[in-house]
A and B are shown apart, each in its own frame.
Chain A
Amino acid sequence: MKLKQSSVLPGFNLALGYSLLYLSLIVLLPLSALFAKTMGLDWSSFWAIVTEARVVATYKVTFGASLIAALINLFVGMLIAWVLVRYPFPGKRFIDALVDLPFALPTAVAGIALATLYAPNGLLGEPLDKLGIKVAFTPLGIVLALTFITLPFVVRTVQPVLEDMERELEEAASSLGATRWQIFSKVILPTIFPALLTGFTLAFARAIGEFGSVIFIAGNMPFKSEITPLMIISKLEQYDYMGATAIAVVMLLVSFALLLLINGLQWWMAKRLGRRK
């Protein structure tokens, strides 16, 4: 693609310039400040900080729980979007609005509410505790908080695609003798797959950075339920700014690599399905 493209719409240069400036100011500049601060460390001490056993344990908790939460929402979110688009039922608008609530709520409030509900003396925690399932103050609690926080992403990305989907396609498939499963896997799924993947990516990325809600329900036990952002906070408590930014840089790089990977996958899928030139 040529940078200078003739288009029916004028103003490409101006728009591109503005976009780059805006992104630089809001995203690139703060992030490069992060890298600049880490530059004070030499490579071996940087490596020692980010590969310390306790810190590595938190990567597993953070990325593992985020992945599980995003996977849960991949299925549950798709289901919710499907129900909201395809079936009329009383109170639909209300349910629809409810989906966005985790976005609007301060995450700390979500964390405290979940901890209260799932604590061993909580409304849901007590019966679960009797069944031998401990939710609050365990890694399960972290997954729960992250699932709650990231619920809207898949629903909101899949919903419009489902709405735009032509029912005639399904009817045509059906009249040609396709089974329900065939219709789902060959007609519906390929159409919504890019949207699903986008929703999954957003949910995953959001979960990795989550702090407020998790901190109240995790129990924060070393090697068990500590998340990486807590390591950053605990470095800051020691006024170890460089150590904190070193871990932050690792989070940033891993997150960005994952996002890039998933975006690449999405692009490849779209190309294979012949939707993009």
Chain B
Amino acid sequence: MNLLNFFGKRGESASVAKNRLQILLAHERADDGSDAALISSLREDILAVVAKRVDIDPDAVRLEMDRSGDVTTLGIDIELPSARAS
């Protein structure tokens, strides 16, 4: 945190933009890489497994991808119904 952040409103739209782009482009690059296909099938498999035990809302699933250097991490956030109720 620097002085500027203290005085001004800290926006975070840039990191949201980066994340949206990374996910989107991973899908759009599907033609030339197996990466994107892998990510979307992984996502579906994980969702299917969770859905077997818990009633989940497909809209309450958040996908995050971060690529820094040579490492790509995929994060899947699934909101459980009980957590939403509280």
The yes or no verdict on A and B being binding partners is: no
Residues in chain A within 8 A of chain B (CB atoms): none
Chain B residues near A (Cβ < 8 Å): none
